[in-house]
Amino acid sequence: MRILSWNVNGLRACARKGFVSVLDASGADFFGVQEVRAFPEQLDPAVRQPDGWHASFSSAERPGYSGVGLYSRRAPDSVITSLGDARFDVEGRFLMARFGRTSVATVYFPKGSGKERDNSRVPYKLDFYAAVFDRLASARRYGPVYVMGDYNTAHEELDLARPATNRKSSGFLPEERAELTRWFDAGWVDVFRRQHPDEPGHYTWWRQWGGARENNVGWRIDYVLCSPSAAKRVTASYILKDIEGSDHCPLGVDTSD
């Protein structure tokens, strides 16, 4: 089984750059997208419901903002898009689908920077993390869980090119990193880091100016986190840095299922 994740930075824009071709050539069983920034009815039919795929979406109430989606080769048994708190649900950041005993979630965690780059949204971001953590608890008890998405947090210094100059920036604040540590302490597994320990230079997002991507000045802020039972099934974890179409690149895991 293959699970892929991609913050597409606007699905309509990414579609014009070949998203459907990437999807169809991916070999994925599940392909989660974040930052869709469109209502489903605004998507071209070939993107909204590609041949051979079942597609589910959770949209923000605000037009052109946020949103997540999941493409799957078979229809899900159930889909959950609510975290039970209107503060989060109106932003369309969470979707979890169940396939038998396996659950697959695609999540777009908020930035903490705020409109004025003043870190004013950090409390909201941490509350969102906690709500997702709690929502996933029951799914973990039921079976394997894969939580893919843009977490908007680099956990360790080797997860970004310039840690020293970003210690006061949202995405690398101590409290944000501590929240990810709480997840790992609770058993969630960063399978990419498990398979690539102590290796710098692996990033999933680059600024769109100043030659950041060409010079690999990036951040690893996208993950596929796995519950303990899911992590046991993972045979490979990778970042597809050469696929363009967004300021993020896809990443994924293969499993023995």
Give the model's pLDDT for residue 116: 80
pLDDT score of 120:
94
Q: What pLDDT sits at residue 162?
A: 97
Does 44 qualify as catalytic in the annotation? no
User: 215-251: per-residue pLDDT in tens?
Assistant: 999 999 999 999 999 999 999 999 999 999 999 999 9
pLDDT of residue 114: 83
What pLDDT score does 100 carry? Answer: 97
CATH number at residue 49: 3.60.10.10
Residue 238: predicted pLDDT: 98
Tally the domains of the chain.
1
Q: What percent of the chain has pLDDT over 70?
A: 100
Three-state secondary structure readout of the chain = CEEEEEECCCHHHHHHCCHHHHHHHCCCCEEEEECCCCCHHHCCHHHHCCCCCEEEEECCCCCCCCCEEEEECCCCCEEECCCCCHHHHCCCCEEEEEECCEEEEEEECCCCCCCCCCCCCHHHHHHHHHHHHHHHHHHHHHCCEEEEEECCCCCCHHHECCCHHHCCCCCCCHHHHHHHHHHHHCCCEEHHHHHCCCCCCCCCEECCCCCCCCCCCEECCEEEEECHHHHCCEEEEEECCCCCCCCECCEEEEECC
Full residue range of the structural domain in which residue 152 is found: 2-255
State the catalytic residue, choosing from 44, 134, 150, 242: 150
Residue range 135-172, pLDDT digits in tens: 999 999 999 999 999 999 999 999 999 999 999 999 99
Split the chain (257 residues) into runs of 10 and give each run's mean pLDDT.
98 98 98 98 97 98 98 98 97 98 98 89 98 96 97 98 97 98 98 96 97 97 98 98 98 95
Question: What pLDDT sits at residue 115?
Answer: 82
Q: What is the mean pLDDT of the chain?
A: 97
